[in-house]
C-alpha cells in the first residue's frame, strides 16, 4: 500500500505523438526479440507485438486528416469560383 502512494503522475503533454510512441514500442520489441535469447513462445509474442504495432499505426494514418502536418486545410472562399 505504501508503494502505491509513491506513484508520481506525469503531466499530460499536448504534443504527445501516439504514432511515434507505438513505433518506439515496436522497435523495442523487435530489438529484444532479435538480440536476446528468448524461448520460441516469447519470440513469437514479441514479433506479434511488432506486427500489431504496424497495424495500429496504419489505422492511425488512415484516420488522420490528409492535411495534418502540412498546415491548415485550404477552405474555399464563397464566391471565389464565380469570379
Q: Choose among 34, 29, 22: nearest CA to 60.
A: 22
Convert the pLDDT of each residue in 61-70 to its tens digit.
Answer: 887 766 555 5
The pLDDT of residue 68 = 54
Q: What is the mean pLDDT of the chain?
A: 75
Convert the pLDDT of each residue in 31-54 to its tens digit.
Answer: 988 888 888 898 899 999 999 999
pTM of the model: 0.56
Residue 5's pLDDT band (cuts 50, 70, 90): low
The pLDDT of residue 66 = 60
Which residues of the chain form beta strands (DSSP E)? none
Distance CA 81, CA 83 (A): 6
- Answer yes or no: is pLDDT of 1 > 50: no
The pLDDT of residue 16 = 80
Amino acid at each position: 500500500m505504501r508503494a502505491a502512494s509513491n506513484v508520481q503522475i506525469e503531466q499530460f503533454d499536448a504534443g504527445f505523438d501516439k504514432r511515434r510512441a507505438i513505433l518506439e514500442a515496436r522497435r523495442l520489441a523487435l530489438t529484444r526479440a532479435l538480440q536476446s535469447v528468448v524461448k520460441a513462445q516469447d519470440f513469437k509474442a514479441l514479433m506479434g507485438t511488432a506486427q500489431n504495432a504496424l497495424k495500429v499505426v496504419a489505422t492511425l494514418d488512415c484516420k488522420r486528416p490528409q492535411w495534418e502536418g502540412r498546415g491548415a486545410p485550404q477552405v474555399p472562399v464563397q464566391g471565389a469560383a464565380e469570379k
